[in-house]
Structures are given as structure tokens and as C-alpha cells.
Structure 1
Amino acid sequence: MKRVTIHRHEESYEVRVSYFFYFDHDASRRAVSGRDTPEQALEKAKALARAERDKPQG
């Protein structure tokens, strides 16, 4: 899930994009909800962080 917010500063606007990687510890609930394990969610979060870090600045 992605959330985008705009924050006004005195002479600029800041756009923040937040991504949420949901997980569940309980295997039976994961089967119903389709959520990842905590480890899977962490790996997805790390992959996105690396991709954002490595993007060319433009």
C-alpha cells in the first residue's frame, strides 16, 4: 500500500511517499488475508529501499 502526503514549508512543499508492507505472524490468518510473513515483508521493504537509494537523481 502506498500513501502520499504533501507538507507545506515556509518557501517550499515536500512530497512524502510512504509504502507499507503488511505482515502477520499467524500462519492461519496469513492464509486468509494473503499477507506476508514478517521476514518476507522485511525483504520487500529492503528491496524497495535499495531501489529508491540507487535511483538516479533527477
Structure 2
Amino acid sequence: MIEVDGWRWHKDAKRNSEDLRRQNFLMNLGWRVLRYDWHRLRHEPEAVLAEVENAIKLKAGPR
């Protein structure tokens, strides 16, 4: 799962708490959660893409 966090949404403590609860729930189900903010997507797109590709390769396992 990939999630993009924005200041507009997370400026509220309740919303942030809900996101943390959801992430913990998903991780307990065995999901890998990658979280990014707009700054990284805008200024480091190659690094973000490399992280996503690496996560996909790790999930696929050895060939």
C-alpha cells in the first residue's frame, strides 16, 4: 500500500491518530505500508520510485 500524506489533511490531531491506527491495523494484517509526502514526490521522484520498485521486488521474493 502506498499512501501520500499531506499537510492539509494531517494538520488535525484526530486525523493523524486515525491514520496511525489504520497503518497499525494494516501492518498487523501483514501489509507493507510505504508513506510519502508531496515534497518527496515532487523533489525526489526517482528515489520514491526506487523504493516502490524495491518493495515490489521484496514482495515477489527470489526468482
Normalised to the residue count of structure 1, the TM-score between the two structures is 0.31
TM-score (norm 2): 0.30
Greater strand content: 1
